[in-house]
Amino acid sequence: MSEPGAAGPSPAAIQVSRIMRPDDANIAGNVHGGTILKMIEEAGAIISTRHCNSQAGEPSVAALARVERTDFLSPMCIGEVANVSAEITYTSRHSVEVQVNVMSENILTGAKKVTNKATLWYVPLSLKNVNKVLEVPPIQYARKEQEDEGKKRYEEQKLDRLETKQRNGDVILPVINPEPHTVGYSQSSLIHLVGPSDCTLLGFVHGGVTMKLMDEVAGIVAARHCKTNIVTASVDAINFHEKIKKGCVITVSGRMTFTSNKSMEIEVFVDADPFVDEPRERYRAVSAFFTYVSLSKEGKPLPVPQLLTETEDEKRRFEEGKGRYLQTKAKRQAQMQQAAQQ
């Protein structure tokens, strides 16, 4: 299969498939969003690394720089097969855009459904010098409009990454004897020592490993707030600000920022403490917003308890989260109206 819109030879689209096991899911049998995110990133890393090494030159490994907003369209369950397909849709001088689709398959009935669509951005890092970003072989487009649209997406994500990095100084502090449904009551942290199995050939953490840990912490925050079965509904853009090296201790922290009637927004940070080879101060490596929904035993949406904000910062973050929620809701309604008119 050739790359969509490509006018000449190009890297083939790839598909990664795996059956979902009990250790991929929560106690209700729903597959963790982090498991799906990890599979999405693995497929993206394979096709982008393959493309970046498709021409003679310095060998490289593609490193994940950003994941655009990802919606979980339908839950996946234990026993189903996840089919993850990835293809390159745009290249700039130093980055690769990969679009990924995830489809669940019931191998008993043959029924299939789309569960996720994601866009990821990678940069090629030299195997000889991990701080050196190499040039990306260009792809060919069938129409000039495809390249122009890709360039527009590239500029938009570049600007958003800069804005996110500038507001990345927040920290999550422990709260003594917090009241139920407050920010302090549900906030959670996870500490993880980065080992060889977490890393790429360059000795840095796979983006998929990081996203899986982030989803795990966000899920704990949501479950503490609701005390029900919860599932990932969407993930806003995930920005990878700095590489995390093997031997680092990472702290993944999450706190609730906003609740609507049926959804929760959770902000997640990843901070890295380098202890091996190059001691330096703790730094913010990754940040993102996750959205969760609460489900009954029958899988029906349940009302979410209102988040009780106490401090001025919590109230400000709540209003910012409300703005993102309303913006996403308006965009979804516009898409539905456009689809109905077609």
> Quick one: tokens of 137?
């072989």
Structural contact between residues 147 and 136, judged by C-beta atoms closer than 8 angstroms: no
Give, for 249, the enclosing helix (H) or strand (E). Answer: strand 249-259
Q: Where are the alpha helices (DSSP H) in the chain?
A: 33-52, 144-166, 183-186, 207-226, 312-341
Which residues have C-beta within 8 Å of that of residue 116, sequence separation ≥ 6?
36, 40, 70, 71, 72, 73, 100, 101, 102
Active site (annotated) includes residue 215: yes
Residue 255, H or E segment: strand 249-259
Alpha-carbon distance 223 to 115, whole Å? 22
Is 26 annotated as catalytic?
A: yes
Give the 3-state secondary structure of residue 163.
helix
User: Is residue 34 a contact partner of residue 252, using CB atoms and an 8 Å limit?
Assistant: no
C-alpha 236/C-alpha 265 separation (Å) is 10
Contact 72, 62 (CB under 8 A): no
Name the nearest CA neighbour of 117 among 55, 26, 40, 228.
40
- Which of 24, 198, 215, 271 is catalytic? The answer is 215
If you search the block for the tokens 């009954």, which residue do you land on? 296
Of 26, 168, 170, 273, the catalytic one is 26
CA–CA dist 110, 15 (Å, integer): 18
Give the residues across from 101 on adjacent strands. Answer: 85, 117
Cα–Cα distance, 128 to 92 (Å, whole number): 22
Q: Which residues are catalytic?
A: 26, 215
